[in-house]
């Protein structure tokens, strides 16, 4: 798996996990599914950070998003 793709998918999963966690806590439910997706997204981001030879800086993240979108299109 391309590290840029893993980073983008992991970040998107993490972004969508935050509302699920907040919703579960506000409804008084246990956020089991949200925690599984949190671990999955965090794992993908960690994989991307460790497998990319130069690592990622903050300014590399938008470039990774653009590269992944360009690859898909």
Q: Which residue in the block uniquely carries the two structure tokens 């800086």?
A: 57
- Contact (Cβ atoms closer than 8 angstroms) between residue 17 and residue 38: yes
- Domain region containing 59: 3-72
Encoded tokens for 67: 């590269």
pLDDT at residue 73 greater than cutoff 90:
yes
Quickly state the pLDDT bin for 55 (edges 50, 70, 90).
confident
How far apart CA 59 and CA 57 sit, in angstroms, is 5
- Overall number of domains in the chain: 1
pLDDT at residue 48 greater than cutoff 90:
yes
User: Mean per-residue pLDDT for 54-64?
Assistant: 90
pLDDT at residue 1 greater than cutoff 90:
no
Q: Supply the pTM of this predicted model.
A: 0.87
């Amino acid at each position: 798996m391309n590290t840029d793709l893993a980073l983008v998918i992991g970040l998107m999963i993490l972004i969508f996990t935050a509302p699920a966690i907040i919703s579960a806590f506000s409804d008084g439910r246990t956020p089991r599914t949200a925690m599984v997706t949190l671990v999955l997204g965090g794992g993908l981001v960690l994989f991307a950070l460790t497998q990319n030879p130069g690592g990622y800086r903050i300014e590399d993240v938008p470039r990774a998003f653009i590269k992944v979108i360009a690859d898909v299109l």
